[in-house]
Amino acid sequence: MPYLPTWNSLKTHSTPQWFKDAKFGIYTHWGIYCVPGRGPNATWYPYNMYRPGTEQYAYHCQVYGGPEKFGYKDFIPFFTAEKFDPDEWAELFKLSGAQYAGPVAEHHDGFSMWDSQVSEWNAARMGPRRDVVGELSRAICSQGMRFLCAFHHAENWWFYPHWETAYDTSDPAYSGLYGPTHNLAGLDGDRWFFNQERPSRLFLERWRAKLLEVCEHYQPDMLWFDFGLRGVPDQYKLEFLADYFNMERLWNKELVVTFKDYDLSPEAGVVDLELGRMTGLTHHAWITDTTVDDGEGWGYLKDTAYKSPRTLVHYLADNVSKNGHLLLNIGPKPDGTLPEQAVEILRGMGAWLKVNGEAIYGSTPWIAFGEGPAILQKSGAFNEKEIPAFSGRDVRFTLKDDCLYAICLGWPGESITIETLRQLWAPEIQSVRMLGVDQELEWTLSEQGMTIRLPQQPPCEHAVTLRIQRSLERGGIF
């Protein structure tokens, strides 16, 4: 039966097994906003450059003479991408251990990163003069990875100040980039449209047409939506989702949709927690999107600190133990090269996953997600800035068939006692090993937990994984 544009029909669509198994993906915020490369959030530069009182407005006035002299569209010729090599990107993403990857196809700014017939404001006609989405689709799929496209373009409606007549945002000639002119009184409407005009039919039809164009041309395995879906009427969302899921048979693929803040029915896709994660084990899958920089830069910033590979390895292991996934953002430079710090992060994660991937890919949560001093005593979700530093005494559990994995988020030392494992039965345990070490480890089981004597040296950086092989045959423990 084809999917119908109703929530009851769409909720029958299952999250594909490939996504449940993949755990880790990469996307890129790359667009005009990478040219100024100014924070705190690179992708919000086009919003803030037109608004006095913001840090980015002050910077724009100092460097470019102000938005009345130099509008956002004037950055396009400097978005050159002359060193963009999609195969090099895809090879690095594969090396990192990511199982799917892809670009932000269009951000709030209204600039399409594909060869679009819906909008003339696109990367194939301007700036790079290349079909970025198409080239990345080919390169990523050639590495055996699934292809992702992210969309933020529903938020283009409220992103620019159409009421400021001194700015190019109010000129109808540029409405293809800045959105249809509206809210000319400059009402202080928030980003959810509640205090200004709702999106017009023309805007909504273009929103849907862009999605269908990308789907029909590039057949993405996964779509990621930003917050703006709450400003789109249900009938538009329902019709598009039914169209997308019905493409599974035509493409012979299993498709997945992720979204923010329950802006879709949670049964029709996977909810995303931006810069956050769940505090405990959940019965449903969820995903975090975070970025390699140490703040909330998202796109390329000329001056920013970066997270460490260790931080992101721990992020991944913690998420997976709770039925979560990790989507990591990279912000390329205007010329198409990837920042050296980002490259080192991906190489570091890849090196760790090469040793420990057995405990991540294809795993499921256990009855407990972990133990240790860094477990937050709260419920629900929390922001990544609340995350305490992990140590080798912080343990996260995953499960695959008859193997239980205990991931120590650091090096515990000569031995470790894992209290949660006291519920195991000694006769069911066949062996205990550390991934990357070719020897069985000594262990004992008591009311205090399982005590394991560890090798003299860790086999890798950042975290180590204990593999507990069990016999699950009925009667085998007596």
Distance (Å, whole) CA 338 – CA 291: 13
Find the mean pLDDT for residues 178-197: 74
- The DSSP secondary structure of 79-140, one letter per residue, reads ---TT--HHHHHHHHHHTT-SEEEEEEE-TT--BSS--SS-S-BTTTSTT-S-HHHHHHHHH
pLDDT in tens, 31-52: 999 999 999 999 999 999 999 9
Distance (Å, whole) CA 24 – CA 341: 19
pLDDT at 424 over 90: yes
Query: Among 234, 210, 231, which residue's Cα sits nearest to residue 220?
Result: 210
pLDDT at 410 over 70: yes
DSSP H helices, 23-71, are 45-48, 55-64
| Residue 332 · residue 30 · CB < 8 Å | yes
Is the peptide bond prior to 40 cis by the omega test (within 30 degrees of 0)? yes
228 pLDDT tier (thresholds 50, 70, 90): confident
pLDDT at 339 over 60: yes
Distance (Å, whole) CA 154 – CA 157: 7
Query: Among 418, 417, 416, 411, which residue's Cα sits nearest to residue 436?
Result: 411
- The DSSP secondary structure of 244-291, one letter per residue, reads HHHHHHHHT---EEEEETTSS-TTSSEEEEETEEESS--SS-EEEEEE
194 pLDDT tier (thresholds 50, 70, 90): low
How many other C-beta atoms lie within 10 A of the C-beta of residue 8? 9
Share of the chain above pLDDT 70, in %: 96
Distance (Å, whole) CA 194 – CA 197: 8
> Dmax of the chain from CA atoms?
82
Average pLDDT, the chain: 94
Distance (Å, whole) CA 255 – CA 200: 29
377 pLDDT tier (thresholds 50, 70, 90): low
pLDDT at 19: 98
Strands 286-291 and 270-274: parallel
Report the residue count for the chain. 478
Cα torsion through 136, 140, 145, 150, rounded to 10: -10
User: Which residues, other chains included, contact 349 with Cβ-Cβ below 8 Å and sequence gap of 6+?
Assistant: 24, 96, 97, 309, 312, 313, 316
User: Which residues, other chains included, contact 45 with Cβ-Cβ below 8 Å and sequence gap of 6+?
Assistant: 33, 36, 38, 56, 60
Query: Among 123, 158, 152, 154, which residue's Cα sits nearest to residue 50?
Result: 158
Domains of the chain and CATH, by start: 7-274 (3.20.20.80), 370-470 (2.60.40.1180)
Please provide the distance, in angstroms rounded to a whole number, between the alpha carbons at the two ends of the chain: 49
189 pLDDT tier (thresholds 50, 70, 90): low
pTM of the model: 0.96
CA atoms within 13 A on the CB side of 56: 21
pLDDT at 301: 97
Share of the chain above pLDDT 90, in %: 85
**CA Rg, the chain, in Å?**
24
Find the mean pLDDT for residues 457-473: 94
| Residue 397 · residue 369 · CB < 8 Å | yes
pLDDT at 191 over 60: no
Query: Among 199, 259, 257, which residue's Cα sits nearest to residue 226?
Result: 259
pLDDT in tens, 280-319: 999 889 999 999 998 889 999 999 999 999 999 999 999 9
pLDDT at 476 over 80: no
pLDDT at 268: 82
Strands (E), 401-438: 403-408, 415-418, 429-434
| Residue 392 · residue 413 · CB < 8 Å | yes
For residue 444, the cross-strand partners are: 451
pLDDT at 331: 98
pLDDT in tens, 12-26: 999 999 999 999 999
Find the mean pLDDT for residues 406-415: 97
Instruction: Supply 428's token pair.
Output: 């069911």
Distance (Å, whole) CA 260 – CA 330: 19
pLDDT at 445 over 70: yes
Find the mean pLDDT for residues 103-116: 98
Distance (Å, whole) CA 426 – CA 453: 16
